Structure 1
Amino acid sequence: MVGLWQLYVSASGVDPLLVAGPVDVARALAQGFADGRLLDATVLTLQVLLTSMAIGTVVAAVLTTLATWTRLGEDLLALLTSILNPLPSIAVLPLVILWLGLDTQALVVVIANAVVWPIAINVTTGFRTVNPTLVAVGRTLGLRGWRMVRDVLLPAALPHILSGLRTGWAFGWRTIIAAELVFGVAGGGGGLGWFINDARYFLRTPEIFAGLVTIALIGIALDLLFALVERRTVVRWGMAGRA
């Protein structure tokens, strides 16, 4: 793919302002990490995203636990999911900025909202599809409430939980890049989306491609990490087939 990319740039005579070649992009990547601009942008984006993922995961865990315990919690989760899950999180960012200001808090709220619902949906599906025999055995052993969730439902629903985390990560990743492209972070500077948009303003095309390549590499790394966790857990435990 890199060879075809370089061949196109070399043979087509495309304007370098439109498409930068792999050599120029590699140079921009090296320079961006050497001077700290691209490195700082990447670290900031990941910090905000990981914070939002943690908050969203906790909220999703609380909602799904309540939905498992009570009918009211189940109805509440169904209502919130039907309202907020189809709503693009980036669409509520202007309103959140009015409430919280143009800083990382607004991004954290918006991204947490983006990740809560896919995680909650997958975990709830996992709980509902747990083998009834396992639940019956847990009840026979005296497990109730949180102990039932912790010792029976969570391990049995692990494939769905990992799927929800992977989907939530993807939702959050897209949301934070889109938000940074438009609003930046902390009102003036920020993460990878801001880095790409800043490069666009000053026609630094290799830096735009460098930011995109960084996003792609992080996506590949996280996909490999999720695959490793799945192999070490659900595949090893016989809960899913080996791909």
Structure 2
Amino acid sequence: MNQHVLPPIRPEYDRVLAPFVEAPVERALPLSTRLWQQEWLRKGLILATLAVAWEALARFQDNDLLLPGFLATLSALGEGLASGELLERVRISLGVLAQGYLAGVVLAFGLTTLAVSTQGGRDLLSTLTAMFNPLPAIALLPLALLWFGLGSGSLVFVLVHSVLWPLALNTYAGFQGVPETLRMAGRNYGLRGLPYVWQILIPAALPAILSGLKIGWAFAWRTLIAAELVFGAASGKGGLGWYIFQNRNELYTDRVFAGLLLVIAIGLVVENLVFASLERLTVRRWGMVR
């Protein structure tokens, strides 16, 4: 009878470890490298470079009527803000912009919700965007003045047109890119219609939606300024666009550039504070974008 052979037992032993030595601490990055990693500083340097180039070109040309310097433009901007005139123009422009932008956002989400719910909605969205998206919003201003008169309704109408189509296209593209597993999960929970869109599609498509919101904002802002140039000339009042138009007629070129500088500044603030904060609090925190 075969006896079971036990495996050999390895004897135990202690291994003496070398005394612990603290790991060497990496040297801190140079101050210049740490500063260059700050995005706000890099963008600030770009803006400062553009301002210096502007001032140098203006002094080289030496004609304030054609190109006032950056410092002269800042002086005119300060005077306009101190007098309250520019603040009132900004208030008028932003008030109209808010109405048109919000109306465009609501219509865009309604149209895309219909598109992801029914085949007829998809056909409607495809047809309308193919028809109206290539049409410049400012081209509709003469019709808007006929239909809505000289009130703010004309401006709101062209703003809705400028926001609606790019936002609807981006939102629908984002909905189409939602993974099928998320769609199936929503259906398994019994979600249909609006609850399905709000709880499944919108969170998953948020990067595309935010991109559409930024594009819609940019289109609306530039359309408003361009429309106010015409609308202000027709009604004798308006926002920043009318301020620019009026001072151009009176040959106050420094005020014209001050108005343009304020338009750019508002765009930078909205882009780098409002939308950047919204992205940081949502899609970046959720790991949906790098």
| TM-score (structure 1 length as normaliser) | 0.96
Asked if 1:218 is matched to 2:266, the reply is: yes
Render the CA deviation track for 1:204-236: whole Å, top value 9, x for unaligned.
011001001001111111111212211221111
The question of whether the paired residues in 2 share the 8 Å contact of 1:103 and 1:186 is answered with no
- Please list every run of 5 or more consecutive structure 1 residues that lacks an aligned counterpart in the other structure: none
Taking structure 1 as reference, are residues 185 and 135 closer, same or farther at Cα in structure 2, changes over 3 Å only? farther
1:233 aligned residue:
282
Q: Secondary structure at the match of 1:234?
A: coil
Relative distance call for 1:103 and 1:186 in structure 2 (3 A) is farther
| Structure 1 vs Structure 2 CA RMSD | 1.2
Q: Decide which structure has greater helix share.
A: 1
Give the number of equivalent residue pairs: 240
Relative distance call for 1:124 and 1:210 in structure 2 (3 A) is: same
TM-score, scaled to structure 2:
0.80
Q: Secondary structure at the match of 1:86?
A: coil
**Which residue of structure 2 aligns with residue 35 of structure 1?**
83
The one of 190, 193, 198 equivalent to 1:142 is 190
Q: Which moved more, 1:49-58 or 1:176-185?
A: 176-185
Residue pairs, 1:183-194, within 5 angstroms: 183-184=231-232, 187-194=235-242
Q: Does the alignment pair 1:64 with 2:122?
A: no
Q: 1:1-243 maps to which residues of 2 (within 5 A)?
A: 1-10=50-59, 12-184=60-232, 187-224=235-272, 225-241=274-290
How far apart are residue 80 of structure 1 and its match? 0.6
Identity score, percent:
48
Cα distance in structure 1, aligned partners of 2:61 and 2:117: 64
Q: CA deviation at 1:163?
A: 0.4
Greater displacement, 110-119 / 220-229: 220-229
Contact 1:103 1:185 in 2 (8 A): no
Higher relative contact order (CA 8 A, sep 6+): 1
Structure label with greater radius of gyration: 2
Instruction: Please state how far the C-alpha of 1:185 moved relative to its aligned partner.
Output: 8.0
